[in-house]
C-alpha cells in the first residue's frame, strides 16, 4: 500500500511565500524558472554585480527539481563510451570535468550559505550488471570513464546481491533538491535579488534592445532573459530535437540489505537506487521504468513494473512514496545550453536527460559566464545552434496555423459516455464531432477541457499517476482544469462547459 503518491521532497516542504509580480520592474537579467537551473544562474549573476529578477510560474522548486531523485554525479545517462564514439574523447573529457566542477559548485554553495536543508551527502556511485549480456556494456563504460579521467575503484563490499560484475566511482553526491533550491532562493534574495512566485510568463518580446516579459498585467524589462524552464517557453527549434519521457520513482523500506551507495544497472531503461530518510528511518529511493510521455493509461502500468522490480530485487516491507516526472532526451546525446537560436540576449538550458541537477548546475555556470564575460569554454559543446534548422519552417507553420473549432458553447454528456470514467481517471471522447478531455478527481468532481496543446496543437493524454493532461510532443503539462503547470506552453487548455445528463440506473457511477 502506497502511503503517499507524491514526491518525498514536495511532501515535506513548507510554502516559501514569495510575492507575485504586482508592478512593472527593470532588471539586467530576467530569469524565468525557480528550479536548480534558474536559481543557480540567478545567484551567480547577482554575485557578479547584475541586477537579477527571477519569476516562477508556481512556487520555488515545485517543477522538475522538486521531483528529482537527487543524484549529483558524474555517472551521466548518456554513457561515456557512447559519447566518445559520437563526439570524440576530447569533448567527452570536457563533459566529465564539467560534471565534477558542477558538483564542487553545489558543495561550495551549500557550505557558503549554510543550506542544511539540502541534506547533502558524499558517497560512492556503483554500476552493476546482473545479467550476463550486460557485462560487456559495463566493461565499456568502465574503460570509458578511465579514459575521460574519472577514477575507478573496485569496492566488492558495495556489490548488490545477484550482481555478476560491478565497479564504483568515489566522491559522488546525493541531495534534497527542494531543500537546496529553497536555500538558494533565500541566499539569492539576501544578495539583493528578487524572487516572485505564482507569476507565470504570458508573453515576451524583444523591443528596443530590451526583453519585455509580460506576467499578467505587468512587465519585467531586462537586457537579458534566461529560459530556465526545463524546456524553452513557446516555440523553439531544439524542441524538435528532444523526446519527452516520464521516469518513475518509489521510496521504500526494503526487506533486503542495501549498502550505502548510489546504484545504476544496465537495464533499458535502467534503474537507479539511493538511500534516503523517512521519519528518521533509512529507506531507499528506487527509480526507472521510463516511458514516453503522453502514452494513454501508461503511468499506472509503469509504476506497477517498478514495484515488481523492487519486489524481485530487494523485497518490500513498506512503500512510503511513489511519483513520476518528466525529462527530455536530446537527439544528440548532449544538452542544449547557451544562446537561444531564436533571440538576442536570450539563453536556454534543456535536454538534460535524467541528469537534471548536474546539467542544471553546468547550465548556470555556462549561461552566467556568457552574460557576464561573453564566453565560456564549454559553449561550443552544448551550443543550442547545433540543431537541424530545416525544422524551423515546419515549427513556424505549426505555430501560426489556427486551431480548428473543436468545442461549442455548451455540450451535454450522459452516463453512457462516462462508463469508463472513475475517480482519478481521464478520457478523451467525441461528442457531436467535438473532442473533449474529461476527468474525474478524487472527490468525484468532473472537469472538462479542450485536449489540444496550445503550444503546437498536439493532442494531450491523461496521466493518472500525476492527475495531469500531458503533451507527448514537447512536454507541456496541464492540471485537470487545464492550467499550464509545466513545459513550453504559455497558454492553458481552454475549459469546456459541460452539462451532465443523469440516468437513474447509472447514478452510482458518478
Tens digit of pLDDT for each residue in 280-322? 899 999 999 888 886 665 677 888 999 999 999 999 999 999 9
- The third-level CATH classification (topology) of the domain covering 411-509 is Rieske Iron-sulfur Protein (2.102.10)
Q: Which of 200, 172, 97 is nearest to 485 (CA)?
A: 200
Confidence of residue 474 (pLDDT cuts 50, 70, 90): confident
d(CA 501, CA 91): 63
Helix orientation angle between 80-87 and 135-147, rounded to the nearest 10 degrees:
60
Domain with CATH 3.50.50.60 in the chain: 12-67+179-239+333-395
Percent of the chain with pLDDT over 70: 88
The predicted-structure confidence for 114-124, as pLDDT tens digits, reads as follows 999 999 999 99
Residues of the chain with CATH 2.102.10.10: 411-509
* Low-confidence winner among 25-29, 362-366, 412-416, 440-444 (lowest mean pLDDT): 412-416
User: What is the C-alpha separation between 39 and 327, in angstroms, rounded?
Assistant: 19
The set of residues, in sequence order, having a beta carbon less than 8 Å from that of 21 and lying 6+ positions away, is 55, 196, 199, 215, 216, 218, 220
**Is the per-residue pLDDT at 420 higher than 70?**
no
| 3-state SS assignment for residue 296 | coil
pTM as predicted: 0.86
Question: Does the pLDDT value for residue 402 go beyond 50?
Answer: no
pLDDT for 507 beyond 70:
no
Q: Please determine, for residue 347, whether its predicted confidence score (pLDDT) is greater than 60.
A: yes
User: What pLDDT score was predicted for residue 23?
Assistant: 97
| CATH class entry, domain 12-67+179-239+333-395 | alpha beta
Residue-level pLDDT at 417: 56
CA distance 388 to 194: 37
Mean pLDDT for the chain overall = 87
Cα–Cα distance measured from residue 194 to residue 204, given in angstroms and rounded to the nearest whole number: 19
Closest CA to 309 of 324, 290, 329: 290
Residue identified by cell 546539467 is 359
In this structure, the strands spanning 210-215 and 218-227 are antiparallel
Amino acid at each position: 500500500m502506497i502511503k503517499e503518491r507524491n514526491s518525498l521532497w514536495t511532501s515535506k516542504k513548507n510554502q516559501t511565500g514569495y510575492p507575485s509580480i504586482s508592478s512593472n520592474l527593470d532588471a539586467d537579467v530576467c530569469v524565468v524558472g525557480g528550479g536548480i537551473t534558474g536559481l543557480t544562474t540567478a545567484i551567480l549573476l547577482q554575485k557578479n554585480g547584475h541586477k537579477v529578477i527571477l519569476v516562477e510560474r508556481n512556487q520555488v522548486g515545485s517543477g522538475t527539481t522538486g521531483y528529482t531523485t537527487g543524484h549529483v554525479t558524474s555517472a551521466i545517462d548518456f554513457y561515456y563510451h557512447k559519447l566518445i564514439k559520437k563526439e570524440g574523447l576530447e569533448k567527452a573529457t570536457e563533459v566529465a570535468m564539467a560534471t565534477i566542477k558542477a558538483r564542487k559548485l553545489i558543495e561550495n554553495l551549500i557550505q557558503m550559505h549554510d543550506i542544511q536543508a539540502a541534506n547533502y551527502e558524499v558517497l560512492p556511485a556503483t554500476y552493476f550488471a546482473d545479467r550476463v549480456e550486460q557485462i560487456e556494456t559495463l566493461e565499456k563504460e568502465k574503460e570509458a570513464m578511465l579514459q575521460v579521467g574519472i577514477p575507478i575503484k573496485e569496492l566488492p563490499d558495495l556489490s548488490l546481491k545477484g550482481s555478476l560484475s560491478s565497479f564504483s566511482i568515489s566522491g559522488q553526491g546525493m541531495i534534497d533538491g527542494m531543500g537546496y533550491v529553497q536555500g538558494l532562493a533565500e541566499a539569492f534574495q539576501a544578495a539583493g535579488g528578487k524572487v516572485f512566485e505564482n507569476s507565470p510568463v504570458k508573453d515576451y518580446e524583444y523591443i528596443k534592445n530590451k526583453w519585455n516579459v509580460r506576467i499578467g498585467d505587468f512587465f519585467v524589462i531586462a537586457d537579458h532573459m534566461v529560459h530556465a524552464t526545463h524546456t524553452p517557453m513557446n516555440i523553439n527549434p531544439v524542441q524538435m530535437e528532444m523526446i519527452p519521457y516520464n521516469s518513475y520513482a518509489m521510496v521504500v523500506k526494503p526487506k533486503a540489505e542495501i549498502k550505502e551507495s548510489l546504484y545504476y544497472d544496465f537495464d533499458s531503461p535502467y534503474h537507479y537506487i539511493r538511500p534516503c530518510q523517512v521519519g528518521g528511518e533509512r529507506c531507499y529511493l528506487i527509480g526507472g521504468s521510463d516511458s514516453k510521455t503522453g502514452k494513454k493509461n501508461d503511468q499506472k502500468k509503469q509504476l506497477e513494473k517498478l514495484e515488481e522490480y523492487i519486489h524481485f530485487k530487494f523485497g518490500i516491507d513498506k512503500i512510503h512514496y511513489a511519483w513520476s516526472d518528466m525529462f527530455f532526451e536530446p537527439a544528440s546525446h548532449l544538452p542544449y545550453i547557451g544562446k537561444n537560436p531564436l533571440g538576442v540576449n536570450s539563453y536556454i538550458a534543456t535536454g538534460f536527460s535524467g541528469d537534471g541537477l548536474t546539467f542544471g548546475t553546468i547550465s548556470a555556470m555556462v549561461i552566467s559566464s556568457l552574460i557576464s564575460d561573453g564566453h565560456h569554454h564549454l559553449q561550443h559543446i552544448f551550443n543550442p545552434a547545433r540543431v537541424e534548422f530545416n525544422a524551423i519552417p515546419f515549427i513556424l507553420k505549426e505555430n501560426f496555423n489556427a486551431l480548428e473549432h473543436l468545442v461549442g458553447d455548451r455540450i451535454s454528456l450522459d452516463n453512457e459516455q462516462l462508463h469508463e470514467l472513475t475517480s482519478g481517471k481521464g478520457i478523451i471522447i467525441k461528442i457531436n464531432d467535438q473532442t473533449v478531455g474529461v476527468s474525474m478527481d478524487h472527490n468525484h468532481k468532473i472537469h472538462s477541457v479542450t485536449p489540444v496543446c496550445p503550444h503546437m496543437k498536439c493532442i494531450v493524454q491523461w496521466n493518472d499517476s500525476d492527475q495531469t493532461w500531458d503533451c507527448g510532443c514537447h512536454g507541456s503539462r496541464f492540471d485537470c482544469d487545464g492550467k499550464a503547470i509545466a513545459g513550453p506552453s504559455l497558454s492553458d487548455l481552454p475549459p469546456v462547459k459541460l452539462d451532465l445528463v443523469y440516468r437513474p440506473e447509472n447514478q452510482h457511477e458518478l
